[in-house]
Amino acid sequence: KAGVTQTPRYLIKTRGQQVTLSCSPISGHRSVSWYQQTPGQGLQFLFEYFSETQRNKGNFPGRFSGRQFSNSRSEMNVSTLELGDSALYLCASSLAQQDHYEQYFGPGTRLTVT
């Protein structure tokens, strides 16, 4: 079974631009979560989607948004990029949203904002 895939793997954007990242979960998984990883803040939760509904949201500004499609694929969007948005963005999928189901992570999208 294929793992979690994220596209693109690398991105370079300029301040003020917007960006869309994509995540395809493991087949059959219905829950998708997004995390931001930076050297200073570590791994921080962005949001979680289950059955096309946002179930949980972290403490990020409204510039960060996401959605999930009927096939469970998910996208996250960051508008008006800032230098501090440079990070590795990780997507994780889970069979369901119950807590005992482990999350499987993709390889991440490394975003660099210049």
Partner 1 sequence: AQSVTQLDSQVPVFEEAPVELRCNYSSSVSVYLFWYVQYPNQGLQLLLKYLSGSTLVKGINGFEAEFNKSQTSFHLRKPSVHISDTAEYFCPRRRSQGGKLIFGQGTELSVKP
Residues lying near partner 1 in the complex (CB under 8 A) are found at: 4, 31, 33, 35, 42-45, 48, 55-56, 58, 90, 92, 94, 97-100, 102-108
Measured distance CA(79)–CA(99) in Å, rounded: 31
CB nearer to partner 1: give 16 or 61: 61
* 62 residue type, one letter: G
CB of 95 to partner 1, least distance (A): 12
CB of 102 to partner 1, least distance (A): 5
Site of tokens 């294929």: 2
Measured distance CA(49)–CA(39) in Å, rounded: 26
